[in-house]
Amino acid sequence: MRSLDLLSPKQLHALAACCIAVLLTACGSAPMRAPEASKPTPAPTDIRSEAATEHGSEIAIYALDMIGTGYRFGGKNPDAGFDCSGMVSYIFNRAAGVKLSGSAADMARQGRQIDKSNLRPGDLVFFNTLNRPFSHVGIYIGDGRFVHAPSGNGKVHISRMDNPYFAPRFEMARAYFN
């Protein structure tokens, strides 16, 4: 077995991403209902490149690092606090060098729309939380979860896509890499 000091920064980052994925899976709650055994799982129709997957993983890891950051309307950095679009803009810029700016609705006009069943870490998920389209955005991190900066509890945290509040308010998912 190689020691950690022999790994490149890229290899260390990949190892960290795997560890986080394992932890998220281990912390997952039991499904609310049993899956239907008679339905075969369709093959994914959304095939993305390895580079896109790597960018998405970087985004997801960076998003997890922001958990606990305070909420502030119009906030665009962790020192001042974030609102949902400020958090997404900050993370995309820092983790992948991608400039996404504007409101959640502005971000929803960029990237490529994808089916909810094809969500991958780093994709954005959009919700109607203020009785107007695309009024909230979060970063999908896998296992039916997303990181977001809601005004409700005052801190960046993880929520589930099937959460009783968010599930009926889901509007769209978008990919920004490949």
Choose the catalytic residue: 13, 18, 55, 136.
136
Pick from 126, 90, 88, 85: nearest CA to 102:
85
Residue count (the chain): 178
136 tagged catalytic: yes
Choose the catalytic residue: 13, 55, 148, 157.
148
Query: Taking the alpha carbons of 114, 171, 91, 60 in that order, is the dihedral positive or negative?
Result: negative
157 tagged catalytic: no
Residues facing 77 on adjacent strands: 81
Choose the catalytic residue: 19, 55, 84, 157.
84
Query: What residues act catalytically?
Result: 84, 136, 148
